[in-house]
Structure 1
Amino acid sequence: MAFDPKLAAALSGATLRQLAHWRKAGVNRGVVLIPEISSTRPVLYSFRDVVALRTCVKLRNDASLQKIRRALDTLRSDLQEHDHLSSYTLVADGSSIYLAESDQAVDLVRRKANVVIHEMVDVLQPFYRDGRHIPPLLRPRAHVTVNPAVRGGVPVIEGTRVPYDEVAALLRDGLPPERISEYYPSVTPTAALDAADFAEYVNSYDPPKEPREAAAG
């Protein structure tokens, strides 16, 4: 299973525009993140990509995109670190970006080793970006979970393999939550409502309609 750009955006806090921008190289700088599964249409992200994207979004709260690109270039070119971006702990403090390791931290912008990191960041936990609440990655809703070992990480109803969007689609078509068990016996009405709420959140990442499209709709 894989994450399409809209779901990757919803789980990471990035916008669709940012995802597209981060797939491209900047002026004299490399790309931020190339999707692991498919970088061409249809673009598809892996679970590790989503973790890395959350890191980039949190970095973007405290650092410019230029600094992020510079830091990643240092990581990849100077330090020769070529593992997936999700395997590194990167932290920004407003002045620079650091690679935090068990025994030291390296300033990836000014290229200094053994600097002090005042705050470690867990990218799996919830955070805010531009006033929007980005849910915890592994449990975006109380009864909706994300586990890379279950359907490749696509959000499912807690304790099941039922994708959230299949449940949400039934409710959107008018099925009362109390009858969801007729289709999925393991899904409770409360879980169904959580699935619908999460689906609404994911759909909020749809790009805005062009004026002509809106008028036609």
Structure 2
Amino acid sequence: MKDQDVDPFFATLRAANPLPTSELEYTSVFELLVAVLLSAQATDAGVNKATRRLFPVANTPQAILALGPEGLEGYIRTIGLYRMKGKHLLETCRILVEQHGGEVPRDREALQALPGVGRKTANVVLNVAFGEPTMAVDTHIFRVSNRTGLAPGKDPYAVEMKLVERVPEEYMVDAHHWLILHGRYVCVARTPKCWQCAVIQYCDYQPKTAPPTP
């Protein structure tokens, strides 16, 4: 993607969705952390289904610890890899209580020290909860960045660094939401819906996908 096309690419996405938000449901920073931790290799809809049952019962580190492994698993067993995620979540809650007063730290190093919290999850929490201009590269952003030519890279970290370099400052806080939603609903994995794409004129992908035959 040409440098002069990056600004209008994001301006177009912003015009279509001025206030993008996460599709994960949460009402606190801790709930967001839990939802993102549970969302690895799972859909947001599947996570929301589980947390709608979990959060009314336990939405603090102390309350989740009180559930114990079996109690927690009863709420999250519909999510893929639930046993491992439950173990990580309980250990994360223990660390939050013992080392952070039960609060989610606003610090990348501290976040990434939590079990089950990698760079992507830390970036989501820093961005969505604290408004920091981070870029959480998931499979959708990785695909869109490479396919469009916006930020080509061989791995998520390379794409993240390229996006941080190329995305204009005024778009950075919301950029990862726009890219995720674009990848989830338009620039999909198997057959991108180029005929529905608002930013097609800036995209390097060839050949563009034709609309389906009626």
Give the TM-score normalised by structure 1. Answer: 0.33
Higher relative contact order (CA 8 A, sep 6+): 2
Between Structure 1 and Structure 2, the one with more strand by share is: 1
Using the size of structure 2 for normalisation, the TM-score is 0.33
